[in-house]
Amino acid sequence: MFKNFCPSALGINGRQSELIELALTYAFRGMDVDMHDMLRRSQRTTFEDASKYLKASEIKIGSFQLAIDLDSDDDTFTAAVAQLHPLGEIAQQLGAERALIRVPAATNRLPFNEFFDVQRNRLGQIADVLGQREIKLGIGFRAGAELLEGKEFTFVNNVETFRALVDAVPNENVGYVIDTWDWVVGDGAMDQLSEISGEKIVALRLGSVPEEADLATVKSTDRLLPEMNGVTLDHVKVVGHLNETNFSGPMSPTASTSQYKGQTREFLVQKSQEAIDGICKEAGMTVAPLPMDLIEDIPYEPTPM
């Protein structure tokens, strides 16, 4: 696995060049990219112009989020799948290997059993298109209580139904997005996570639930940077398990900016880097030094007179 910078998972915005600089400064080996924006920019200018910063930095693309609403009507969904073909082409040119999507926590469209079949088929269609470009589809879920408001039918907002849906999609390029915040809020524990091999996981996201939070009412804005020993889930054990079971994907810190009001984006990136590095060290993994640390390690040699 590799340390990955996902700006959206930290609520961070900026020009692509600025985000790449942040990732490199804090020794992130990979970075998530807005592939839909890359496609638009490539269509306005050229692929070479749109990708010049990524190519110059040589940073690995961790994953990209699919802007597809799985709760949309059939015509809207069909149109979105059609856009996957040019999107997949751009992603393949950039060497991206992982696309991510989250399933609806609730819906007004259909009861659970009928909606389950719809989602399984839709995820299969998406995986088919991505598979043509040798891109994996990582499926995640969301457990925040606010996602159920105003919805008639609960769908996937816990680990049990999440695992059932992912396992029901037959495509070989389909796997899990494990988000430890959603895992905890969605009634998940370490023993359930231990049943999933790292080879079946497409992406890992780490975030902590506040100790005082009521898991029945906690909202997505109640998300802290990952702690070593979070509420009911030990991040050191999570990372250790995935490392031992051959997980080779991106590991990204997450947090809600509402928990860090008044802080700069540099602060958030630095603290997320420190959190991930600390967890990895405790899990017995080698942690790459920051670029500034490498500079400090270079012995001083006075300039000859």
Residues in contact with 165: Cβ distance below 8 Å, sequence separation at least 6, in sequence order: 103, 116, 119, 120, 123, 139, 156
Mean residue pLDDT of the chain comes to 93
Burial class from Cβ neighbours inside 10 Å (0-12, 13-18, 19+) for residue 299 reads exposed
CB 183 within 8 A of CB 233: yes
Please name the amino acid found at residue 205. R
Instruction: Report percent pLDDT > 90 for the chain.
Output: 90
Q: pLDDT tens digit string along 115-155?
A: 999 999 999 999 999 999 999 999 999 999 999 999 999 99
Q: What is the pLDDT of residue 125?
A: 98
**How many Å apart are CA 242 and CA 177, to the nearest integer?**
12
Q: What is the pLDDT of residue 229?
A: 81
Q: What is the pLDDT of residue 92?
A: 97
Query: What is the signed CA dihedral for 28, 34, 37, 43, rounded to 10 degrees?
Result: 80
pLDDT at 20 over 60: yes
pLDDT range class, residue 293, cuts 50, 70, 90: low
77-81 mean pLDDT: 97
Q: What is the pLDDT of residue 294?
A: 43
* Residue ranges making up the domain that contains 218: 2-286
Instruction: Report percent pLDDT > 70 for the chain.
Output: 95
pLDDT at 300 over 80: no
User: Does residue 12 sit within a domain?
Assistant: yes
User: Does residue 42 sit within a domain?
Assistant: yes
Cα–Cα distances (Å) from 200 to 2, 34, 135, 159, 193, in that order, read 16, 24, 14, 15, 11
Q: What is the pLDDT of residue 292?
A: 63
pLDDT at 304 over 70: no
Q: What is the pLDDT of residue 290?
A: 87
User: Does residue 292 sit within a domain?
Assistant: no
Q: pLDDT tens digit string along 183-241?
A: 999 999 999 999 999 999 999 999 999 999 999 999 999 999 999 886 779 999 999 99
pTM over 0.95: no
pLDDT at 90 over 80: yes
277-305 mean pLDDT: 68
User: Does residue 49 sit within a domain?
Assistant: yes
User: Does residue 63 sit within a domain?
Assistant: yes
Count of domains forming the chain: 1
pLDDT range class, residue 289, cuts 50, 70, 90: confident
User: Does residue 302 sit within a domain?
Assistant: no
* Strands annotated E in 58-200: 60-61, 64-65, 98-102, 106-107, 136-140, 153-154, 174-179
Residues in contact with 299: Cβ distance below 8 Å, sequence separation at least 6, in sequence order: none
11-33 mean pLDDT: 95
User: Does residue 110 sit within a domain?
Assistant: yes
**How many Å apart are CA 196 and CA 137, to the nearest integer?**
16
Q: What is the pLDDT of residue 249?
A: 97
User: Does residue 294 sit within a domain?
Assistant: no
93-103 mean pLDDT: 97
CATH number of domain containing 179:
3.20.20.150
